[in-house]
Structure formats: C-alpha cells, structure tokens
Structure 1
Amino acid sequence: MSPLAILITFSLYTLFIFIISWWTSRKADNESYFIGNRKSPWFVVAYGMIGASLSGVTFISVPGWVGTTHFTYFVIVLGYVAGYAVVSTILLPVYYKLNLTSIYTYLGTRFGRASYKTGSSFFLLSRIIGASFRMFLVVSVLQLFVFDHYGVPFWVTVILFMFLIQLYTLKGGIKTIVWTDTLQTTFMLLAVVLTVGIIIHAMHTSLGEMWTRVWHSDYSQIFVTDVKSSQYFVKLFISGMFITIAMTGLDQDMMQKNLSCRNLKDAKKNMTTLSLILVPVNFIFLFLGAVLYFYAAHLHLDTSGLTDHLFPKIALNYLGVAGGLVFTIGLIAAAYSSADSALTALTTTLTIDILELDKRYADRQEILRKKREQLHFLMMLIIIFVIILFKLINNEAIIAQLFTFAGYTYGPLLGLFSFGLFTRIPVKDKWVPFVAVLSPFIGYGLTKLLQLIFSGYQTGFEILLINGLITFIGLLIIKNPSKTKTHGNI
C-alpha cells in the first residue's frame, strides 16, 4: 500500500472523528467535559472502553508477543475479569456514593490533603509516561511506513497527531470521547478480524484448518507451570487481577468514563459487560499473532527482532491494498484511543486535584472553562515533549524501563486505596507522600533480592502487588493513634 493511500485514509478517518466531535460537543459545558453530564449510555461506554483498554500496545504488540510468550497473555486476561469484579463491587459504589468527579478526592476525604495531592500526582506521572509510551509506539510505526517517505520529521508527526487530538477533545471532553471511542473500537476490531480473513485467503486455507493448525502448535500454550518463570500462570492471573484494580479502578482516565454513566447500576453493567467482552477480543488478537507467524513462515520471512513491527510489516507489504487499508485504519484508531481520554483525564486531575480550580471558580463557569482549556493545551505540550524525548533516547531497553517505572507508581495508589477502604486506621497525613515515594524504590530493591535468593526467579507484573503491600505496611507504620478511627468505606 502506497504512503499516499495511507495519508488519504488518515485524513478521511480524522475528518469523520471531527464530525462526531462537532455533533457531541454542541452544547457541552464544564460538566460535559469532566463527567459527560452523567448521561452516557452504559452500553456505549462499555463498547468504547474496549478500544481504550486495548490501545496501541495491544493492537501492535500482543500479536508480536505470541512468538516468544505464546498464548500465556490470555491468563492475564482471565485475571482482568476478576479485577473488574472487584472494581465493580468495591470501588464503584464508593465513587458514586461520594458523587466524585475525580476519584482521588476520596483520598482527601479519607486521609487528608497531603494524601489527596500524592494520589493525584502519582496518577499524573504514571499516565503521562504511559500515554506517551503508547502514542510513541503507534506513531513510530506510522513514521516508519508513511511519513519518512515524505521526509516529515518525527517531531512534526507527533505534534500533528497530538494537535488533532487536542482539537477534537478540547470542548466536549468525556462527552465526546465516549462516542469517538466507539468508532475507535469498531475499526480496531474490524482490522484484526479482516486481517485474519485476508491471510487465510492468501494461504488458500479455511478458518477451521487454520484454527486446528494454531491449536496444535506451540503458539497455543496458555499455562506455564514453572514457578520461576515470569509467565507462571498463577503469577499472571493474580497480576492481571491487580493490574485491572490499579490501572482501571484507581486510574482517573479509565474511571472517568464510568463516572459519566447515569447511575451506579449502569456503571456496574458497563464494567461487567466490558470484562466479559475483553476475553474473546484479546483471544482474537492472540490468534492473529499465531496466524501472522504462520504467514511469515509461508513467505520465508525472518521474524527475529520484529515483535512490534511484525503486524505492520506483513499488513503493509504483503497483504495488498485491502490488507494495508484495514491495518492503517486500525492503527490510526489505536493512535487516537491511546491519547484522547488520557489527555482529558490528565487535564481533569490537574484542574480539580492539583490546582482545585473547580472550587476557586465554582460560581464563574466561563472562567473555569478558559482555565481548563489552557491546561488541556499544556498537557498536550507535555505529552509531545515526553514522546519526542523517547525518540531522542532511542534505546528500547531504557524506554521499556521507563514504562515499567510508570507501572511501579500504581503500587502506591493500590496501597493507599486498599488501606483506606479496608481499615479504619487514621494516619499522619503529612508522612503519606514520603511513604508513597519510598515504596517503588523498596519494591525495586526487593525484586533484585528475590532474584538473588531464588536463582533464576523473574519478577513480572506482580511488582504492582509488591509495591501496594509495601505502601500498606508503610501506612501502618505512620498511623496516628491520637485521632479517632475513621470509617474505611466512607
């Protein structure tokens, strides 16, 4: 597929996004931006969140991972279901009971101002790095296969994407994103399904025959029973559960959409539906990965070191115009879904939690709107800077470590919320930032110690749980016996 065709596809898709944005934001106000006026249909939110949950990492990386980790990622997905159940039954009732716009307001109610600022600051750091990494991954692929052809510098490509995202989310915020995400989800899923169909046709086989071939290959291995392995199935399941609790239930980006539902009942239905749909959806991505590797072998392609570029390389170079078109639309959808809601959530946290402008301008909504739009633009500039910084580093190992570090910072959030919800113990609020900052460093040291004690042990996603536990213990240490015990479930 030619770069010009990809560019035209990108332009038409973006135009469609802007039409949806115009339609949804015609009567938008500050409440529309932050929580969609609490009028979002739950089924629309659930469907749209599929794309937001998958993002560019799933679209590009998960099929490539099949070559080295086979189908073991599916165990994490099963853990997601358990995690969503926890979010639905424990966290959502608290958020709706307190009528929250930002979920970190809970920390202020439960512990105090320092804890409130700590939680929101950790989210800002985590989401800026995480969203920038996902955007970097997707834009790098488009840069390699399209914009390099026209001599467009990487930094220009990044600014273009982020400026477009900034424009269509600026006014409507969550009210717009709830609907644009449905479009992103549709095209991402279509891209996967149609790519499988195109490859099966090119290999002159049937879906049943391909399924049999995949199922009887090494790629279909789901459960690893080696305790020392980072892919040990018990470890992956527990990790998947706590990843969902921390990176969905304690993440303003993901929960802001849920809080836009009409009531708690609808929010729970949204969460349950999403968790069940994600199981077959993620399995399709894994199946696509196996199909891509079989097709690469059919073409005698060297797949070593391709991981993130396996899908784009085959789709754009070997599947003709149809395959290239399908992949391009899916990739653009992944790019937009990786950053639009993150930009809105970061702006919300900065506006409400850090600067508390909603209180300062409670009776001056027009001024609040202008301030919010200025912060929206500022967050766009920050994300652009971080993405370009990743490019300047130009070291996959370092970038991967930065992304891992962002995961570390969700551990303190897990510890803070767990302590608040499941104990009634008051703490010395001023010491909470110290505990939260120290926990990731202790967690990192502990992982190195485990590797020394248990030779060959590989720490995986469970570091999230370890950091949460360290934070929990730290809060016990700084408890404040002079205060009256508070209710853990406020």
Structure 2
Amino acid sequence: MEFSVIDYVVIVVYLIAVAGLGIYAAGRQSSTSDYFMGGEGLPWWAVMFSVVATETSTLTFISIPAVAYGGNLTFLQITLGYIVGRILVSKFLLPAYFKGKQTTAYQFLEQRFGPGMRNATSTTFMITRLLADGVRLFATAIPLAIILRLGGAFIGWTDFEVYLLAIAAISIITLIYTLIGGIKAVVWMDVMQMAVYIGGAALAIGIVLADLPNGLSGAMSIAADAGKLQILDFGFGQPFSDFIAQPYTFFTALIGGAIFSVASHGTDQLIVQRLLTTRNVDNSQRALVWSGVVVALQFGLFLFIGLLLYAFYDAQSAEALGLATTDEIFAKFIVEQLPVGLSGLIIASLFAAAMSSLSSSLNSLASSTTLDLYKPYFGKDNSQAEDLRISRIITMVWAVILTGSAFFFAFLQLQEGERPAVVELGLGIASYTYGGLLGAFLLGRFSEAPDKTDAMIGFFVGLISLLFMVEGPIHSILPGEPLVIAWPLYTVVGSAIVMMVGNITYWIRKK
C-alpha cells in the first residue's frame, strides 16, 4: 500500500496547525521571564506532560515496540528506577532551586562554588545537547525515511536527501512556534503533541487487535510461549564483569535508572527549566513524580504494541519479513496495514514526538546561553525588550546549529563502509556528562567544606574517568581487557568519582 494524497494532506495540515496553535497558545511575550519561565506560572499537569513529551523521541515511538518484538519486557525494570530518581529530585533538589528563585539549573552552582563552576557546567550542558540532540534530530529522520520509502514516496531520492527533507521540515516548523512563543508555546504544544502520538499508538493497537484471528488472548498466549512476558531479570549466577555490563538486570536498572533520572531531571536544564515554570515547589514536585509514572505507562504501551505485532506477523524474524532490523517492524505495519488517512496521522504523530524533543532543546539551550553566559557579562544593563530580542536571536542561532549538526551526522552515518565512532559517541554523550553534572550538584548540596577549586577538579576528573570505563575509542588504545560498565551505571560511577575527588582534594589542600 502506498501513501495516498489524503495522507500527505493530513501531514501538511498538521504541521501548519502546530505552528499556528503554538503561537496562539503562547500569547504575547514581553520579557525573558515570559519567554523562558512562562510568566505567571503554568499548571503542574501541563508541565508533567511536557516533561514526558520532551523525553519521548521518534525513536521511542518506533524502536520500543521492536524491543518487545525481538526480546521481552525486562526494559520496564528501568522505569522503576526512573520513578525513584524523580522522587529523590523532588525531595532534595527542587526545594533548593525554588528557594533561590533560579531560572537555570546552574545558578545553584554559582551560589555554592562561584561563576566559574556555573560557566563550566552550563557549557558542558550546551556541548552535550549539541552532540546528543544533533544525533537525535538526525535519528528522527530514520523512521520517517523508512516509512516514506516503504510507502513508495520520493522514488528516486537518495537516503541523504530524504533525511535532509525530514530534518529541515521538523526544524523549520518547530523554530517558528518556539521562536515566537517561548517556553509557554513549547509546553502547551508538548501537551497537544503527546495527545497526538499516544492517540496514534492507540489507533494502531485497535487496528492490529481487530486483525488478529484469536484476538488479545491469542496474542498474549503466543508471547508467553516465546518467553516475552518476562519483566524481572536479576542476572544472578554470572561473573561480576558480565553482571555490571548488562543494562537490564533488576538492580542495575533500578539503581542506574534512579541515578540517571536524578541527573537528567535534577541537573539538565532541558528538564529543570520546565519544572521551574510551575507556580510553586509543590506543583513542581507533583509534575515531576507523576511524569515518572506516565513514562512507565507509555513504555508499557509501546512494548505492548511490540507483543501484538509479534503475534500479527506470526513470530517471523526481520529477515523473513524483508526488513533490515526489527526496528522497522512498526514502520512496516504503519505503511502496509493502516487505512488511508490513518497512515498520514501516524506520520504526523512521529513529527509530533520529534518536534516536542527539538522545541525543548531549543528553548533550554537559548535560556542557558542567555541567562548563564550572555546576561551576567554582556547584558547587565539591558532592558527587558532588549533581553527578549537577544533571546530570540540566540534561539534562531541554536536552531541553525542543531540542524547543521543533524545534517553532519546524517552525512557521516550514510558513508559507505564502517560507520564512524563519532556517531556512537554522540548518542552516548549525555550519559558521560550526566555523571559529572550530578556529582557537582551533590558535592555542593551535601558537602559543605569543598570549595570551587575542589569542585572544578572533581568535575573534570569525573568526566575524563568515564571515558576509560565506557566502551568506545579510548578502549582501543588501552592494554589488556578494560573494565566495561552498562550505560545505566555511567552516571552512578561518574557522580561518585566527582564527589570522592572533590572531598579528597579538599582534604589534601587543607593538610
């Protein structure tokens, strides 16, 4: 089945509607407080959905069903850690942010360790977002390109050209409403776009259930016989080196997921900015904790789609279905099985997930650049109108930079031969830096003695140390068998090193 004219009309109308509704929802912006903090404060439930939508990329929509199709449900273990981590952030970090009436996550570090530490962590955040979101934006084009290709669209176009088209469309539409409406537009459009992509997933579930000969019970029976309903895996009975290298054993997922969530939701401006737009700390805590529950339910929904597809395609392998990987299984179903018009709606859902992530990145990068780096040094005497104008210029600059970064990664990824290691590094960069960021925050929050010198030394030692424990380019030059840890443990180890080194350097300097 190929895409119809109706499908393309649905996509175009959706993209135009997003830009218009985003601008309308934001209202007028007269200051950076309106632009970056939402003015008088946003409802906690809207912020909750915005946090969830920000975490959800197009790859979540496409790839999580493939996790269940090719494996089981042990991925859900990490969501328990996510909930625990958010509870810890709401109890120990959010009150400190609201107490100081902060506008970025890194002002806390300036109050504790001075402007140098704020600049270092803010810059680290920007580099992280540039690399990780550049790859993420490119990655959003992969399932879109797959679906458009399977649907017979853009015949004669190269993969690179299709990727550039998808990236450019996502970037331009997202920039329009983010540039004009600021954080308020971002949050309200996140709410709408989450409803769109969850609605699209629900429609897909209804259609696949209707086509299954034995319905839901038959699908669950097939999944159970294949061992796909397993949720818990404690991983006991294997060597320690293998145990810590497995990402989805219970304790690794619980502890690693919790610490990772503390870092991502307690130190990353991408999420912290949203939490600071609520009216008070109680609303912020409510939004954060409930977002963990919603994320767990969302992952469960997409894993459930994977189980249904496993029954729908009679447990066939990706190769038997003519696919390169199981990641293409949901895309195949969307193109070949959905009625006219609904395929276009699902593509619109994919754009929704992609734009939610990108709009959040643009606004958080602009806020950190403006408030952490520009305002303290170059805009002390600016009027509110001047600050707002600069903020919009910086938003536009970041949009160009992120789009260019995505184009660059697309070019690298599509080269013949072995794919460059830089792509793998870009995808994992957030996990590297979260350990350093979290360690700096914990050092400032729970260790009274260390000063800015100790914090700076600990921060950079933590960042560098992780490179030797994460499988990547450094390992190729190390002798013997280097220690490799699972990605949920990156943040645990990195933050522990920062705190340990910070306290040790203080003790040495004091002596």
TM-score w.r.t. the length of structure 1 is: 0.90
2:29 is aligned with 1:12 = no
Q: Which of 209, 212, 215 lines up with 1:206 in the alignment? A: 215
Q: How far off is 1:272 after superposition?
A: 2.3
When structure 1 is superposed on structure 2, of 332-341 and 438-447 the one drifting more is 438-447
2:293 is aligned with 1:293 = no
SS, match of residue 125 in structure 1: helix
When structure 1 is superposed on structure 2, of 390-399 and 105-114 the one drifting more is 390-399
When structure 1 is superposed on structure 2, of 2-11 and 87-96 the one drifting more is 2-11
When structure 1 is superposed on structure 2, of 161-170 and 398-407 the one drifting more is 398-407
The aligned residue for residue 437 of structure 1 is 460
Q: How far off is 1:260 after superposition?
A: 0.6
Query: What are the superposed Cα offsets for residues 89-139 of structure 1, whole Å, 9 maximum, x if unpaired?
Result: 111101100101111010110111111111111111122222222221222
Counterpart AA for 1:464:
T
Structure 1 residues 298 and 481: alpha-carbon distance in aligned structure 2, compared to 1, 3 A threshold: closer
Q: Which of 457, 461, 479 lines up with 2:506 in the alignment? A: 479
2:450 is aligned with 1:426 = yes
**For 1:7-156, what aligned pairs fall within 5 Å after superposition?**
7-29=8-30, 30-146=32-148, 148-149=154-155, 151=157, 152-156=161-165
Counterpart AA for 2:497:
I
The aligned residue for residue 414 of structure 1 is 438
The aligned residue for residue 333 of structure 1 is 352
The aligned residue for residue 465 of structure 1 is 492
The aligned residue for residue 266 of structure 2 is 249
Counterpart AA for 1:211:
M
Counterpart AA for 2:487:
G
Give structure 2 stretches of 5+ with no counterpart: 237-242, 414-418
Structure 1 residues 263 and 358: alpha-carbon distance in aligned structure 2, compared to 1, 3 A threshold: farther
Structure 1 residues 137 and 93: alpha-carbon distance in aligned structure 2, compared to 1, 3 A threshold: same
The aligned residue for residue 391 of structure 1 is 410
The aligned residue for residue 369 of structure 1 is 388
Structure 1 residues 215 and 278: alpha-carbon distance in aligned structure 2, compared to 1, 3 A threshold: farther
Conservation of the 8 A alpha-carbon contact between 1:428 and 1:480: no
Task: Tell me the number of residue pairs that the alignment of Structure 1 and Structure 2 aligns.
Answer: 481
Q: How far off is 1:452 after superposition?
A: 9.8
Counterpart AA for 2:499:
F
The aligned residue for residue 239 of structure 2 is none
The aligned residue for residue 360 of structure 1 is 379
SS, match of residue 297 in structure 1: coil
Q: How far apart are the structure 2 equivalents of 1:421 and 1:464?
A: 17
The aligned residue for residue 272 of structure 1 is 289
SS, match of residue 383 in structure 1: helix
TM-score w.r.t. the length of structure 2 is: 0.87
Q: How far apart are the structure 2 equivalents of 1:324 and 1:237?
A: 37
Counterpart AA for 1:372:
S
Structure 1 residues 461 and 148: alpha-carbon distance in aligned structure 2, compared to 1, 3 A threshold: farther
Conservation of the 8 A alpha-carbon contact between 2:334 and 2:343: yes
**For 1:186-205, what aligned pairs fall within 5 Å after superposition?**
186-205=195-214
Conservation of the 8 A alpha-carbon contact between 1:81 and 1:276: yes
SS, match of residue 171 in structure 1: helix
SS, match of residue 328 in structure 1: helix
Q: How far apart are the structure 1 equivalents of 2:461 and 2:483?
A: 26
Structure 1 residues 162 and 457: alpha-carbon distance in aligned structure 2, compared to 1, 3 A threshold: closer
When structure 1 is superposed on structure 2, of 283-292 and 221-230 the one drifting more is 221-230
Query: What are the superposed Cα offsets for residues 27-72 of structure 1, whole Å, 9 maximum, x if unpaired?
Result: 2232121110142011121123222222223212211122444211
Structure 1 residues 149 and 35: alpha-carbon distance in aligned structure 2, compared to 1, 3 A threshold: farther
Q: How far apart are the structure 1 equivalents of 2:325 and 2:267?
A: 34
Counterpart AA for 1:255:
V
Counterpart AA for 2:401:
I
Q: How far apart are the structure 1 equivalents of 2:420 and 2:223?
A: 30
When structure 1 is superposed on structure 2, of 122-131 and 82-91 the one drifting more is 122-131
Conservation of the 8 A alpha-carbon contact between 1:361 and 1:368: no
Q: Which of 400, 416, 425 lines up with 1:401 in the alignment? A: 425
**For 1:154-165, what aligned pairs fall within 5 Å after superposition?**
154-165=163-174
The aligned residue for residue 344 of structure 1 is 363
Conservation of the 8 A alpha-carbon contact between 1:194 and 1:326: no
Conservation of the 8 A alpha-carbon contact between 2:137 and 2:358: yes
Conservation of the 8 A alpha-carbon contact between 1:125 and 1:406: no
Query: What are the superposed Cα offsets for residues 176-227 of structure 1, whole Å, 9 maximum, x if unpaired?
Result: 1111011111011112221111111122332344334434532222222325
* Runs of at least 4 residues off by over 6 Å: 451-457, 480-483
Counterpart AA for 1:472:
M
Query: What are the superposed Cα offsets for residues 376-408 of structure 1, whole Å, 9 maximum, x if unpaired?
Result: 111011111111111111128652332112310
Give structure 1 stretches of 5+ with no counterpart: 484-490
SS, match of residue 414 in structure 1: helix
Conservation of the 8 A alpha-carbon contact between 2:78 and 2:248: no
RMSD: 2.7
Structure 1 residues 283 and 372: alpha-carbon distance in aligned structure 2, compared to 1, 3 A threshold: same
Q: How far apart are the structure 1 equivalents of 2:5 and 2:457?
A: 53
SS, match of residue 462 in structure 1: helix
Q: How far apart are the structure 2 equivalents of 1:219 and 1:322?
A: 32
